[in-house]
Structure 1
Amino acid sequence: MKQITLRAIEPEDLDLLYRIENDVELWNVGNTNVPYSRYLLHDYVANCKNDIYTDRQVRMMVENQAGEVVGVADLVNFDPANCRAEVGLIVLNSYRQQGYGTAMLQALADYAQRILHLHQLYAYVDCENKASLCLFEKAGYKVCAKIGDWLFDGAKYRDSVLIQYVFQKKCD
């Protein structure tokens, strides 16, 4: 498996975040469908506490062994009462199909279980996004619900699945 590091967002990441957040091709796979200004992203980087309990989310940059940013990993919609969070990941185009997505999901799972003590992670995945479905299923996520007409791409509604990873309790 690829060796990666999750790290906090730095001001130097602003240009990359700007490109990612304003990439129209990514809007259909996430919950964002509007452009973000540099000012808004700068404000986010400057003011987020990087504390999931305060912000109810944490966004981390993902680096490979050479120190190159290969993607972004998010835990959002953090629900401390029910010990769960929604997963979001972006693997940059030039690093796709190289094992980084699998490594990112594993690193997020380790962080969520060992540091945050979460019970589960979940994601909503477009039924037509076969690469993402395969990635999550390979990482042990299970499809638990199909949701009709969940995503709108500007022209038509598409079905989505709720995919979930529940951490197994360890026996002593």
Structure 2
Amino acid sequence: MLRDDLIFLRALEAEDLEFLYVLENDSALWQVSDSATPVSRYTLRKYLENSTADFEEVRQLRLVICALPDGRAVGTVDLFDYVPRHQRAGVGIAVLPHERKNGFARAALKILISYARQTLGLHQLFCTIGANNSASQKLFQQAGFQFVGVRKDWVRMADEWQNVVEYQCLLDI
């Protein structure tokens, strides 16, 4: 099972609609995604109906981070842009604002890395982080991700361009 003493990871359920609605409509998260518009419950309901599709087919996987002991949903961890030939995928983590700084993201990332290596047989994971997001950079560095570069003026935030930093984690070593 995908768990430790602090959290467990599980597949999306139909009952996650309201949780996802809150998470996906947190405008602070739009800054790190390619979206800048609210997401409707209808759109999320359709997404949940298709969320059980095979990882190999849809090339992405979203798992819910649930806190122990009560099992409440506190965030999500994603594998995306999966390329089977090269055995790599991107990683994204989102935690509800009031649940941050409790170690949930760190625990989820550790479990996900093990799952990606042992179960999915991936060779590497990568992530893109805002250059000003030192907390996320520290999280991924502590999990074994190595800095590999900067993309200049990669994301537009309000009326200014910002850099992002790239990290990768080789799982075979």
TM-score of the pair, normalised by structure 1: 0.93
User: Does residue 1:164 correspond to 2:168, yes or no?
Assistant: yes
Aligned residue number for residue 63 of structure 2: 60
Name the SS for the 1:43 alignment partner.
Answer: helix
Kept after mapping to 2: 8 A contact 1:2/1:100: no
Superposed, 1:19-34 pairs within 5 Å as 19-34=22-37
Kept after mapping to 2: 8 A contact 1:71/1:91: yes
Question: In structure 2, how many angstroms separate the alpha carbons of the residues matched to 1:144 and 1:116?
Answer: 24
User: Does residue 1:133 correspond to 2:137, yes or no?
Assistant: yes
Aligned residue number for residue 89 of structure 2: 85
| Structure 1 gaps, min length 5 | none
Kept after mapping to 2: 8 A contact 1:8/1:50: no
Kept after mapping to 2: 8 A contact 1:49/1:55: no
Q: Give RMSD over aligned pairs.
A: 1.3
Kept after mapping to 1: 8 A contact 2:61/2:79: yes
Aligned residue number for residue 49 of structure 2: 46
Question: In structure 1, how many angstroms separate the alpha carbons of the residues matched to 2:101 and 2:89?
Answer: 25
Kept after mapping to 2: 8 A contact 1:59/1:75: yes
User: Does residue 1:111 correspond to 2:112, yes or no?
Assistant: no
| Structure 2 gaps, min length 5 | none
State the Cα deviation string for residues 144-166 of structure 1 (Å, max 9, x = none). Answer: 01110011113111000111111
Question: In structure 1, how many angstroms separate the alpha carbons of the residues matched to 2:35 and 2:53?
Answer: 20
User: Does residue 1:3 correspond to 2:28, yes or no?
Assistant: no
Name the SS for the 1:81 alignment partner.
Answer: helix
Between 1:158-167 and 1:2-11, the stretch displaced more is 2-11
Aligned residue number for residue 97 of structure 1: 101
Name the SS for the 1:34 alignment partner.
Answer: coil
What is the deviation of 1:108? 0.9
Question: In structure 2, how many angstroms separate the alpha carbons of the residues matched to 1:58 and 1:33?
Answer: 22
Read off the aligned partner of 1:5 and give its amino acid letter.
Answer: F
TM-score of the pair, normalised by structure 2: 0.93
Kept after mapping to 2: 8 A contact 1:22/1:36: yes
Question: In structure 1, how many angstroms separate the alpha carbons of the residues matched to 2:5 and 2:37?
Answer: 32
What is the deviation of 1:2? 5.1
* Percent of aligned positions that are identical: 37
Aligned residue number for residue 16 of structure 2: 13
Kept after mapping to 2: 8 A contact 1:2/1:99: no
Aligned length: 169
